[in-house]
Amino acid sequence: MRKDARENAFKLIFEGLFHECDEELSRENLVDLKKEEDQDFFKNILTAFSENQETMKSKIEAHLKNFEYNRLFKIDLALIYLALTEILYCNTPKGVAINEALELAKTYSTEKSSKFINGIISAILKD
């Protein structure tokens, strides 16, 4: 399912915020995905993220108010990156990508995170 591919991609984006992602770990996450289309979606997200992380980082930094980039919760940051990657580089409909990121936030982050994540993504997409 795309949901599984998205969640696996989120986990690797999160890990990548701390250190270089291990190619073996990437392959393990890929093997977990049964359908070829899910594997392709997973690869597309990670490739697009890797190629565009600096551009997205600049956009995120430009829209932070009263926050510093390096003080953001890494989980929230990974979810923002995931949604932006899907919307800007993977042709995922905006509503779908944002909703899926917010659903993951309910599982992996704090109660207040959804509002923050949604606000940052919406501000970036308005530009």
pLDDT band for position 18 (50/70/90)?
confident
What 3-state class would DSSP assign to 34? coil
What is residue 1's predicted lDDT score, i.e. its pLDDT?
75
Which pLDDT score, from 0 to 100, does residue 26 have? 57
The whole domain housing 100 covers 2-126
Specify the number of domains making up the chain. 1
The predicted model gives 98-112 an average pLDDT of: 96
Tell the burial category of 2 from Cβ atoms under 10 Å away from its Cβ (0-12, 13-18, 19+): middle
Q: Which pLDDT belongs to residue 25?
A: 53
CATH number assigned to the domain comprising residue 10: 1.10.940.10
Angle formed at CA 19 by CA 14 and CA 25, multiple of 5 degrees:
70
Phi, psi torsion values for 71, nearest 5 degrees: -105, 0
* Residues 51-97: tens digit of each pLDDT: 999 999 999 999 998 889 999 999 999 999 999 999 999 999 999 99
What secondary structure, in 3-state letters, does 51-86 show?
A: HHHHHHHHHHHHCCCCCCHHHCCHHHHHHHHHHHHH
The set of residues, in sequence order, having a beta carbon less than 8 Å from that of 9 and lying 6+ positions away, is 29, 42, 45, 46, 49, 82
Please give the pLDDT value at position 10: 95
